[in-house]
Structure 1
Amino acid sequence: MMIHQLSREEALPMELLLLADPSERLIRDYTARGTSYVLEKDGKVIGVYVLLPTRPDTAELVNVAVDEAYHGQGWGKQLVLHAIQEAKQQGYRTLEIGTGNSGVNQLALYQKWAFRMVSIDRDFFLRHYEAPIFENGIQVTDMVRLEMDLV
């Protein structure tokens, strides 16, 4: 297993990124502004995340995605832990993450890793996505924002 920064010359793993975000337009926007990291196993890219600077001393972890064939094996956890270490090494003091209101599993995991809920961006998914998104049988409307102190 190896996690490494994707160079600007390497193609984005769009299929993986679309697992976590159905908008290719938004993906292209934040990957252009952030740094993408990929997880390779046996020479195959099976996971991805993006570290996006948002404010001084703050970065957001966006689009944590793992190939569906590798779900439930701890790869998502490895990506998040790598992102936390990477943000610390880059000198960020705060790491943010956001997830849909219906992402109950993600909310539980992020809180286990010491992220704390700080706000709700009401109607985020209604404003930014053309088609409705459903997860766990619930329409995704609001973005739940969490953050972690890195110092």
Structure 2
Amino acid sequence: MYVATDAQQVVAVACVQPIDSQQVELKNLAVAEAYQGQGVGSLMVSFLKRQYQHSHDSMLVGTADVGVAQQRFYQRHGFVRVGIRERFFIEHYPQPIVEQGQQLVDMYVFECCLSASADNQSIF
């Protein structure tokens, strides 16, 4: 679990779980609403990629099929879509999850090669 703060106020959190000795999965990334659109999420992803680039080969992240903005976000950070977990949000959550008027059904899985990560910005 990683936490980014600004003046001792939490502005972003991320949870990364190792899958095996080669892959980690970014399970959650959340940025406080007041800080969204200011690059905090990008800085957090860059930081996480650097954290794991010497110990793991790649990072996975999953996002909803209807989450076009999230998909574009991860693609801008070097993630490519490598799979689909069909009916993930229907089978793993007892209540329907709706985002922007659309029910989440499938999870799109994205992967980023960490050894090629050239993010050298210094933050946190």
TM-score normalised over the length of structure 1 = 0.73
Cα deviation for residue 79 of structure 1 reads 1.0
Gaps of 5+ in 2: 116-124
User: Aligned residue pairs: how many?
Assistant: 115
Cα deviation for residue 110 of structure 1 reads 0.8
3-state SS of 1:85 partner: helix
Q: Does 1:49 align with 2:49?
A: no
Alignment correspondent of 1:92: 56
Equivalent residue in structure 2 for 1:62, among 8, 19, 27: 27
3-state SS of 1:130 partner: coil
| Alignment-mate amino acid for residue 6 of structure 2 | K
3-state SS of 2:53 partner: helix
Alignment correspondent of 1:147: 111
Counting helix residues as a fraction of each chain, which structure ranks higher? 1
Gaps of 5+ in 1: 1-35
| Alignment-mate amino acid for residue 83 of structure 1 | L
Percent identity of the aligned residues?
36
Query: For the residues of structure 2 that align with 1:55 and 1:128, how far apart are their CA atoms?
Result: 22
Query: For the residues of structure 2 that align with 1:66 and 1:121, how far apart are their CA atoms?
Result: 25
Identify the structure with bigger relative contact order (alpha carbons < 8 Å, sequence gap 6+): 2
Cα RMSD, aligned residues only: 1.0
Q: Does 1:78 align with 2:43?
A: yes
Cα deviation for residue 134 of structure 1 reads 1.1
Query: For the residues of structure 2 that align with 1:80 and 1:123, how far apart are their CA atoms?
Result: 27
TM-score normalised over the length of structure 2 = 0.88
Q: Which runs of 4+ in 1 moved over 6 A?
A: none
